[in-house]
Amino acid sequence: MLEEHHVDLPADPESVSRLKPGSVVYLNGIVYTARERVYDFILNRGGELPAGLADVSNVNFHCSPAAAARDDGSFHIGGVTATASFRFSRYMADWLDRSGARILIGKGGMPADDYRNILAPRGTVYLTTVGYGTGALLGRGVRGVETVYWLREFGIAQAMWLFRVRDFGPFLVDSDLEGNSLFAEQGELVNRNLDRIYRGLRKPTLLRYGETDDRTDELI
Amino acid sequence: MISGETIEQAGYEIMKRAAIDIPGDYLSGIRDAARKEAEPLSGFVLKTMVKNYETATEDRRPMCADTGLPRYYVKVGDEARFSGGFTGIEHALRSATARATRDVPLRPNRVHPLWRTEYNNNVGINAPEIEWSFEPSAGWLDITTVHKGGLFGTDYRMLFPGDGIDGIRRFLLDTLVAFGKRGLCCQPAIVGVGIGGSKDTCMQLGKQAACLRIVGDRNPDPKIAELELELMEAGNGIGMGPMGFVGSSMVVDLHIEVGFTHTGGMPVSVHTFCLSSRRATARILADGRITYRTDPQWFTPYYRRETVDWPMDGLEAVS
């Protein structure tokens, strides 16, 4: 049985420090979405974050919701799913400093070095969504849209959505405040088996330029 | 005569069904994988996914918010008659896509590749894709939609006849391991392998094999059917499960489709469908009635025909 945590938001340092790789997390409070368009606007183009964001929420969800505007101006949120986080690696140090985010949620984690060098030193942990398709469960956890920023400018997928959430999850803790990573640990275990499954299979007739045979390599 | 409104209505309805209701064959496949999975983390993921499918159906909300790149496969019976012609079908399906994107809602994923501009409706230049096939002696129109995530889990490689089955096996392992780490390709999934054709048909066949055949379906060529099972076992023997965790659930089923290719080469493509493998089909009958199902029945004997005449009359291939 996996350990389970319920965290009220904004998350205080103690509840963040209790989160250990492989435990299950549900959130209550407000989370916001932000990805490349928001990062670029704030960090490279002189954009300003909404005032007092960190007091409302310190949880950045790498997500584009399946959302639609209703005629009365409210929003219909259907499914909610994370997008792959490694693409945002280069923004993270500055973004965490500016936003004060202490929990990142996304798909697939960040490179293991980022945890040691960027997230853990700033008191931030990373939670991954489960199976990468629990859109309905997470959608059910979203109780409403608190507000949305830059919808016109960036579109539905890239706008900053503030969601009111209740029993929002499940998520799995990937990285903790010591910089440990569940993905890295599991990846190493999987790597140990790889020589066995390739045994006896010779190299292809035509190689690809720059191809290596190091199976511990990651694509991210 | 089938009207444009009927086609639009069918297109809209399958968009909704594909996004919300997991196909029965796939659900049984995942339940089966969950039963066999001995690792606690991988097992937790699979059980959570099953709960997610149930929630999607109860709440009528998309099972995954990444509703992928919605697209269509249309099979037209020779005797089917529809007002508005073929471009009328295309217009109806573009309209259905835009309407479903707003109503379901689907995520408006489609943007211009360079300017990143969009109309927030999943319609644009060359989008949604509509692929056509035909069927002799039929008066119906079959429309299938597939919602598949678009970024990871697909690869192509030019192999050569001398690389043999081992070469295919190795390339499959390469693709599954590479994209399976951290679960980028959202495994376990239905895996499609395209072998032969030219590069584009190879990709197309592999994609169709992943997205348009159901769990448990086997290729009619017994030797290819055997290879499907052998490669599925190889995928599940990697030691990797959902999200790249230690486990045994990588491939829910594996389908191979082939096309005659250049005598010197053996191109191979690998496609992983999503953990939420989403598809739905509508059949519009000559009188305008619509029936719905989750098995696209795309690969008909006619579609896989081997030579000039069909059915073949006592012809045998030579080497």
The answer to whether position B47 is within a domain reads no
What is the pLDDT at residue B177? 97
Is the pLDDT confidence value at B313 over 90?
Answer: no
- Domain assignment present for residue B84? The answer is yes
Co-location of B12 and B111 in the same domain:
yes
Tell me the nearest-neighbour CA distance from B284 into chain A, angstroms: 28
What is the ipTM, given to two decimal places?
0.92
Q: At what angle do helices B85-103 and B4-20 cross, to 10 degrees?
A: 40
- In this structure, the answer to whether residues B234 and B133 fall within a common structural domain is no
Which residues in chain B are contacts of A81 at CB distance < 8 A?
Answer: 64-66
List of domains in chain A: 4-198 (3.20.130.10)
Which domain does B284 fall in, by range? 4-18+63-149+280-293
Residue B8 lies in a domain: yes
Of the residues A62, A64, A134, the best mutation for testing chain B's interface (the one with the most B CB atoms within 10 Å of its CB) is: A134
Nearest CB to A155 within list B44, B120, B166: B120
Question: Which residues in chain A touch residue B46, judged by CB atoms under 8 angstroms apart?
Answer: 131
Percent of chain A with pLDDT over 70: 100
Task: Examine the domain organization and report whether B106 and B12 are in the same domain.
Answer: yes
- Does A187 contact B65 at a Cβ distance shorter than 8 Å? no
Contact list, A66 vs chain B (CB under 8 Å): 62, 65, 67, 104-107
Residue A197: which H helix or E strand, with range? helix A194-198
Residues of A in contact with B107 (CB under 8 A): 64-67, 79, 156-157
Name the residue facing B62 among A108, A136, A218 (closest C-beta).
A136
Same domain, B69 and B122: yes
**What distance in Å separates residue A183's CA from the closest CA in chain B?**
6
Residue B256 in domain? yes
Minimal Cβ distance to A68: which of B105, B151, B245: B105
pLDDT band at A191 (very low <50, low <70, confident <90, very high): very high
pLDDT of res. B310: 83
Contact B64 A218 (CB under 8 A): no
Closest chain A residue by Cα to residue B56: A136
d(C-alpha A55, C-alpha A148), whole Å? 17
Q: What is the pLDDT of residues B269-309, one digit of tens each?
A: 999 999 999 999 999 999 999 999 999 999 999 999 998 88
How many domains, in total, are found in chain B? 2
Min Cα–Cα distance to chain B from A93, Å: 22
Q: Please check whether residue A163 is in contact with residue A144, taking contact to mean a CB–CB distance below 8 angstroms.
A: yes
Contact A170/B48, CB-based, under 8 Å?
yes
Q: Give the number of beta-carbon pairs within 8 Å between A and B.
A: 200
Verify that B10 and B91 share a domain, yes or no: yes
Asked whether residue B9 falls in the same domain as residue B125, the answer is yes
pLDDT at B250: 97
Going by C-beta distance under 8 Å and a sequence separation of 6 or more, which residues neighbour residue B170? A198, A201, A204
Q: Which residues of B touch A136 (CB under 8 A)?
A: 52-53, 55-56, 59, 61-64
- Domain for residue B257, yes or no? yes
Query: Could you read off the pLDDT of B112-169 as tens digits, one per residue?
Result: 999 989 998 999 999 999 999 999 999 999 999 999 987 889 999 999 999 999 999 9
Tell me the mean pLDDT in the region B310-315: 78
Same domain, B111 and B9: yes
pLDDT for the residue A79: 84
Give the strands of the sheet with B71-77, arranged side by side. B130-135, B71-77, B141-147, B278-284, B290-293
Q: Is the dihedral of CA A24, A27, A33, A36 positive or negative?
A: negative
What is the average pLDDT across A183-212? 94
Q: What is the pLDDT of residues A53-76, one digit of tens each?
A: 999 999 999 998 877 888 888 898
| Residue B318 belongs to a domain | no
DSSP assignment, residue A159?
A: S
Is the domain of B248 the same as that of B107? no
Task: Give the pLDDT of residue B149.
Answer: 84
Bridge partner list, A127: A105, A173
Could you tell me if B12 and B90 lie in one domain? yes
Is residue B291 within 8 A of residue B282, CB to CB? The reply is yes
Looking at the structure, do residues B134 and B202 belong to the same domain, yes or no? no
Give the nearest chain A residue to B240 (CA atoms): A190
Q: Is B33 helix (H, G, I), strand (E, B) or coil?
A: helix
Co-location of B137 and B11 in the same domain: yes
- For residue B103, tell me if it sits in a domain: yes
Is the same domain home to B240 and B111?
no
Residue B104: the pLDDT is 87
For the segment B91-113, what is each residue's pLDDT rounded down to a tens digit?
Answer: 999 999 999 999 988 888 899 99
Q: Specify if B111 maps to a domain.
A: yes
Tens digit of pLDDT for each residue in B226-266? 999 999 999 999 999 999 999 999 999 999 999 999 999 99
